[in-house]
């Protein structure tokens, strides 16, 4: 069964009622589907906005107003480590894909710290921001890190360049600071409030940034080119992107949520790359907000979308997590009430698929993190040899090497159906018989007086056999493709019939239910009329039972007349 869950981080409150069940919980793993229920909690944590990062094996929580990160092990269900850092932490993010091998940390001094969780290596940058780094996002390829600050600027960093051991030496003509950003975006006029990055793995991707100047800008973070500018009706607090990058969602101080479509404007060109739309800001109407029905819920401090993009979650200052129906554009339900401010929401990947392709591609997992060790030689730009230090090592758990072996017998035994390789081989043989081709024989070619002729004949025979085998495979693939297409067409036709049949059944059920309700109402009305007739007869001093029998006889006579008509 498929299940979908999310991780929520809470901010510690000064006074929490003793009756509250989650008074000590700081991190909550909550199941959203199929049953909405709290599954796991981690204690001793008070996390600020943008201070939560989640991997397949761990949860990292930066403690508010502290230089400490709490590490929780999802596999063991406990707190694994408390990691101190030299500066107060304002935001964190993970890079490295499935395992999240690198934790990126934004400090109050405006610098970035990179921590390799599998080796303990720590790399830091110079204070490039004038104010604290309030938001960090990593692009889907883990090649770029975007850092936003209260100084109204966003820096784009090259993650491979910062982690590389080989770096160019600083000369007199090159005055760039060590590990400097590759691009700076400064189109906002006030503090950046939220930041989100698109889901594309292409070399061109988008980012959406919102600021306290009530603007949301869609831009290309590889070039810094502005694609669209939106004027929002109020100050945004959080932002997230649709899984297909068709729209972005904004959470406001009032607790309301709004969807902003990127492709709403009709254009002959790509909407985001139409120069006529790039130069003119778009005014977003306040009437299109999704109104929150809960009073005093507070600002929508964080947003998260489900895997299919049809459910939007918003966390609020009063501790509630609200579910919004994206298709209908309205409030859905209250998922949870933690009684403390919700600062971060992180949607986990669905669990229960037959095969997790992303997990299969990874040949290792980080089961235990290695605490960071600061080594000045690793960040010294004067070292240009490019060699890896001798004490550098990683600590990971490798996958079972037996999984890489190809055994057709083991595959056939363990496979839930016939393996594709056996089916293709059988189809190839059948296709070869259908086309009248003969299998190559093991007869050696006739010897000639010239040795060169013998070798040439052997080569030609081998090539002909290979061509024959390739023809069989092509024929088998074509036959399989045709069969698959026919099956898909049949399944779609059956699905349409089933949908029509289900619709008819629902319609009949609805009519039958309405008829039962009407009959019951008519019967109740007739019973009421009889009781009134009995009561009236008793008041007049007559026999009420006789009046009741007469009323029943009259009702039966009326019913017979209706049936005869």
The tens digit of pLDDT for each residue in 547-559 reads: 778 877 877 777 7
What is d(CA 398, CA 406) in angstroms, rounded to the nearest whole number? 18
Residues in contact with 148: Cβ distance below 8 Å, sequence separation at least 6, in sequence order = 133, 134, 135, 136, 154, 192, 194, 195, 209
CB 55 within 8 A of CB 7: no
pLDDT > 70 fraction of the chain, expressed in percent and rounded: 81
With 0-12 CB in 10 A as exposed, 13-18 as middle and 19+ as buried, what is 479?
Answer: middle
Q: Which residue has the tokens 């100050």?
A: 235
Residue 520: per-residue pLDDT: 86
CB 231 within 8 A of CB 215: yes
CB 182 within 8 A of CB 156: yes
CB 461 within 8 A of CB 444: no
What is d(CA 234, CA 89) in angstroms, rounded to the nearest whole number? 28
CA-angle at 48, arms to 33 and 31, nearest 5°:
10
Residue 360: per-residue pLDDT: 46
Answer yes or no: is pLDDT of 33 > 90: no
Q: Which two tokens stand for residue 43?
A: 């204690």
Residue 439: per-residue pLDDT: 44
What is d(CA 452, CA 336) in angstroms, rounded to the nearest whole number? 82
Higher confidence at residue 167 or residue 531?
A: 531
Q: Which of 340-349, 351-360, 434-443 has the highest mean pLDDT?
A: 340-349
Residue 406: per-residue pLDDT: 46
Buried b (16+ CB within 10 A) or exposed e, 453-465: eeeeeeeeeeeee
H or E stretch covering 162: helix 159-163
Largest CA distance in the chain: 136
What is d(CA 183, CA 105) in angstroms, rounded to the nearest whole number? 19
Answer yes or no: is pLDDT of 284 > 60: yes
Answer yes or no: is pLDDT of 106 > 90: yes
CB 128 within 8 A of CB 111: yes
Higher confidence at residue 393 or residue 371?
A: 371
The pLDDT tens digits of the residues spanning 429-467 come to: 777 665 554 444 444 444 444 556 666 778 888 888 888
CB 368 within 8 A of CB 80: yes
Q: Which two tokens stand for residue 37?
A: 């229920």
Average confidence (pLDDT) over 92-114: 89
pLDDT band at 394 (very low <50, low <70, confident <90, very high): confident
CB 241 within 8 A of CB 294: no
What is d(CA 122, CA 163) in angstroms, rounded to the nearest whole number? 9
What is d(CA 241, CA 210) in angstroms, rounded to the nearest whole number? 12
Buried b (16+ CB within 10 A) or exposed e, 154-184: bbbbbbeebbeeebeeeeeeeeeeebbbeee
Mean pLDDT of the chain, nearest integer: 82
On the question of a cis peptide bond just before residue 182, with omega within 30 degrees of 0, the verdict is no
Of 40, 47, 43, the C-alpha closest to 24 is: 43
Residue 473: per-residue pLDDT: 83
pLDDT > 90 fraction of the chain, expressed in percent and rounded: 39
Answer yes or no: is pLDDT of 286 > 50: yes
H or E stretch covering 530: helix 451-539
Residue 479: per-residue pLDDT: 82
Q: Collapsing DSSP states into helix, strand and coil, what is residue 193? A: strand
Of 374, 373, 376, the C-alpha closest to 178 is: 376
Q: Which two tokens stand for residue 223?
A: 């070039």
CB atoms near residue 287 (< 10 Å): 7
pLDDT band at 15 (very low <50, low <70, confident <90, very high): low
Q: Where are the beta strands (DSSP E) in 277-424?
A: 282-283, 300-305, 311-316, 320-325, 330-337, 342-347, 364-365, 373-374, 397-398
CB 332 within 8 A of CB 314: no
CB atoms near residue 378 (< 10 Å): 16
Residue 409: per-residue pLDDT: 57
Answer yes or no: is pLDDT of 337 > 50: yes
pLDDT band at 176 (very low <50, low <70, confident <90, very high): low
Residue 530: per-residue pLDDT: 80
pTM of the model: 0.68
Q: How many CA atoms lie within 13 A of 385 on its CB side?
A: 6
Average confidence (pLDDT) over 189-197: 95
Of 93, 86, 135, the C-alpha closest to 372 is: 86
């Amino acid at each position: 069964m498929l299940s979908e869950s999310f991780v929520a981080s809470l901010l510690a409150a000064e006074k929490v009622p003793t009756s509250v069940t989650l008074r000590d919980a700081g991190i909550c793993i909550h199941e959203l589907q199929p049953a909405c229920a709290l599954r796991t909690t981690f204690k001793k944590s008070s996390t600020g906005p943008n201070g939560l990062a989640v991997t397949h094996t761990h949860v990292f929580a930066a403690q508010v107003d502290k230089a400490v990160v709490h590490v929780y092990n999802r596999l063991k269900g406990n707190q694994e480590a408390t990691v101190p850092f030299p500066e107060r932490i304002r935001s964190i993010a993970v890079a490295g894909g499935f395992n999240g091998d690198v934790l990126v940390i934004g400090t109050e001094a405006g610098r970035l710290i990179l921590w390799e969780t599998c080796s303990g290596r720590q790399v830091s940058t110079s204070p490039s921001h004038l104010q604290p780094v309030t938001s960090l996002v990593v692009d889907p390829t883990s090649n770029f890190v975007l850092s936003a600050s209260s100084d109204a600027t966003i820096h784009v960093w090259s993650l491979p360049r910062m982690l590389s051991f080989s770096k160019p030496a600083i000369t007199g003509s090159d005055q760039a600071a060590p590990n400097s950003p590759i691009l700076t975006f400064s189109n906002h006029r006030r503090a950046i409030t939220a930041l989100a990055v698109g889901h594309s793995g292409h070399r061109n991707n988008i980012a959406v940034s919102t600021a306290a100047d009530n603007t949301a800008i869609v831009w290309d973070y590889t070039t810094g080119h502005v694609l669209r500018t939106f004027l929002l009706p109020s100050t945004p607090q959080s932002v997230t992107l649709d899984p297909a990058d068709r729209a972005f969602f904004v959470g406001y101080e009032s607790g309301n949520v709004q969807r902003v479509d990127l492709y709403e404007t009709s254009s002959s060109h790509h909407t985001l790359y139409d120069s006529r739309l790039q130069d003119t800001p778009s005014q977003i109407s306040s009437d299109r907000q999704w109104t929150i029905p809960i009073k005093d819920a507070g600002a929508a401090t964080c947003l998260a979308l489900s895997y299919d993009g049809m459910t939007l979650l918003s966390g609020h200052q009063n501790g509630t997590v609200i579910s919004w129906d994206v298709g209908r554009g309205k409030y859905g339900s209250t998922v949870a009430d933690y009684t403390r401010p919700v600062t971060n929401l992180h949607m986990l990947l669905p669990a229960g698929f037959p095969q997790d392709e992303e997990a299969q591609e990874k040949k290792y997992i980080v089961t235990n993190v290695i605490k960071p060790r600061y080594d000045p030689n690793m960040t010294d730009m004067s070292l240009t040899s490019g060699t890896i230090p001798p004490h550098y090592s990683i600590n990971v758990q490798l996958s079972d090497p037996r999984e890489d072996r190809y055994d057709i017998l083991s595959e056939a035994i363990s496979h839930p159906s016939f393996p594709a390789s056996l089916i293709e081989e059988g189809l190839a043989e059948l296709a070869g018989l259908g086309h009248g081709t003969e299998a190559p024989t093991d007869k050696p070619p006739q010897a000639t007086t010239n040795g060169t002729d013998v070798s040439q004949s052997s080569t030609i025979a081998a090539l002909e056999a290979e061509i024959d085998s390739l023809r069989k495979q092509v024929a088998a693939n074509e036959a399989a493709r045709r069969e698959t297409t026919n099956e898909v067409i049949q399944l779609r036709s059956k699905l349409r019939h089933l949908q029509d049949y289900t619709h008819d059944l629902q319609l009949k059920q609805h009519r039958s239910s309405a008829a039962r309700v009407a009959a019951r109402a008519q019967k109740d009305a007739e019973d009421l009329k009889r009781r009134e007739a009995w009561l009236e007869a008793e008041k007049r001093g007559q026999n009420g039972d006789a009046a009741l029998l007469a009323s029943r006889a009259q009702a039966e006579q009326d019913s017979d007349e209706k049936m005869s008509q």
